[in-house]
Structure 1
Amino acid sequence: MYSVAASEPAFKILTALSEEDRLSESELSKMLDREGNELHYYLRKLKRSALVRNRRDPNTGTEEPYSYYTLTDLSEIVLEYGLKEGIEKLAKEEADISDTYSG
């Protein structure tokens, strides 16, 4: 996950998504001045690392659904706290939830 997020194009994608609620691949391409094929490669790697999710909105008023990307909770925490601290924070929150509901 770290090697994916640390690459410049992937980090720029994460940063752009942190500034917007959701962005399509073409919106990201314009915003980052990168070609779609290059972005697609990094978006796929980010999805596999659970740092972004791809959604489709069928309510576009056209026949084609709107496909867009958003940050996952993990990527928001990693961007805010850094990788090591972000993972530690997630682990603590998970332990707290487990303690709360385990009895």
Structure 2
Amino acid sequence: MDILSWEERPFVSLEQMDTYSARDRETAQRFGATVKAAEISNRDYKHRYSRHSSDWAMQPPPSSHIHICMGYLVVRKLDTTGQYETWMPGHVFEELYAAAGEP
């Protein structure tokens, strides 16, 4: 995904997100073999959540009033009735997912 301006980043669309594959079977079984994701900060996710949580299935944002850190907006359980968005720290995401086509 191309780098978005800071104003657009919290509101990236599903179509703009990159596709990632679960690195292990357990993650694939729990959350789907593939996910869509975009790199955003926990504060950006908080803005996205405040705007869209009443219309979309979203997990609440982590605390961002003291520590702001980069991570990923992740859409899990793609194309199912259980599809939802969440945010996770970069190191956690990178342990669980690889860019589609990578090992």
TM-score > 0.5 by shorter chain = no
- Greater fraction helix: 1
Whose Rg is larger? 1
- Greater fraction strand: 2
Instruction: Indicate the structure whose relative CO is greater, using CA pairs within 8 Å and at least 6 residues apart.
Output: 2
With normalisation by structure 1, the TM-score equals 0.30
